[in-house]
Amino acid sequence: MTKIAYLDCVTGIAGNMFLGALVDSGVPLEYLIEQLKGLNIDHEYELSQEKVQRKGQQATKVHVELLIEDSHKSHHHHHTPARYLPEIESMIQQANLPSRVTQWSLDIFRRLAVAESAVHGVKPEKVHFHEVGATDAIVDIVGTCLGLDYLDIDELYCSALPTGGGTVWAAHGRLPVPVPAVLKLWESRQVPIYSNNIEKELVTPTGAAIAVTLVKSFGQPPNMILEKVGLGAGSQDLSLPNILRLWIGERMTEKKTVMLT
């Protein structure tokens, strides 16, 4: 039996949305918390989950709350350490993760670094990660790989991705959406894209890197016997439910027949 999953990305994909969909599909949050301790950055964040509503639909929202303290303030804020690729790779390699989780995580960060290096004109090893190298992105990427491994997913597929629109603030100032790194990632796999007329950032660099690295092909759902659907909530209030839908099931072969009642 080949266990497969399909990412239905009507309102895009971000790392925390994917995490939410995996937890909604049965990955215990406690398992993720325990496994992620191997990265030795658990003092930088707290992981939690809650059920939320998006346009009347219930989905799971996973929060990565950052705990980096400002030297001048006692409360939490959102300034996280910037890191370079070699440091992130070393963290992952030393974390004692399941073997394919280690390889997937390394592959995702390498692809992300290559995209960022093309945008900024530097070598991948010299990319100074800001948003994509921050604590929450490391947790999102490694956590997602842990979740896929926990559910024994053999093959991952994905829908075409919406472009979004407008602008967004980033480390280098205001950028057009899709941001340059996302466009480079899409270009690397010739991802099918379209506009759903929502002028927001719908696909983040982290979400794009996970998809283009792990997904076998983009487009229509594969032939499958659907066993479970996990719903991961995003943070935005959009005209469509801001939910990533993860369809999980068994590959349907020619030998299998579907009985209709």
Give the tens place of pLDDT for each residue, 18-34.
999 999 999 999 999 99
Q: In the predicted model, what is the mean pLDDT of residues 171-191?
A: 94
Q: In the predicted model, what is the mean pLDDT of residues 105-128?
A: 92
On the CB side of 184, how many CA atoms lie within 13 Å of its CA? 17
Distances (CA, A) of 153 to 5, 6, 118, 202: 7, 10, 31, 25
d(CA 24, CA 50): 10
Residue 92's pLDDT is: 97
Residue 52's pLDDT is: 98
Please tell me whether the peptide bond between 178 and the residue prior to it is cis, using omega within 30 degrees of 0.
yes
Alpha-carbon torsion 75, 78, 83, 89, what sign? positive
Average pLDDT score, the chain: 91
Residue 73's pLDDT is: 41
Model confidence at 159: pLDDT above 70: yes
Give the tens place of pLDDT for each residue, 242-257.
999 999 999 988 665 5
Distances (CA, A) of 139 to 44, 52, 162: 10, 21, 24
Give the tens place of pLDDT for each residue, 194-204.
999 999 999 99
Residue 208's pLDDT is: 98
Model confidence at 130: pLDDT above 90: no
d(CA 112, CA 127): 10
Give the tens place of pLDDT for each residue, 48-82.
999 999 999 999 999 999 886 543 444 444 555 67
Residue 259's pLDDT is: 52
Model confidence at 236: pLDDT above 60: yes
Model confidence at 88: pLDDT above 70: yes
Residue 195's pLDDT is: 97
Give the tens place of pLDDT for each residue, 202-216.
999 999 999 999 999
Token pair 């989950």: residue: 49
Distances (CA, A) of 221 to 159, 204, 225: 7, 22, 11
d(CA 56, CA 39): 37
Phi, psi of 124 (to 5 degrees): -55, -40
Model confidence at 258: pLDDT above 70: no
Q: What percent of the chain has pLDDT over 90?
A: 80
Which regions of 146-223 does DSSP assign to beta strands (E)?
155-158, 161-162, 167-170, 173-176, 193-194, 215-218
* Chain centroid offset of residue 71 CA: 31
Residue 254's pLDDT is: 63
Residue 76's pLDDT is: 47
Residue 255's pLDDT is: 60
Residue 81's pLDDT is: 64
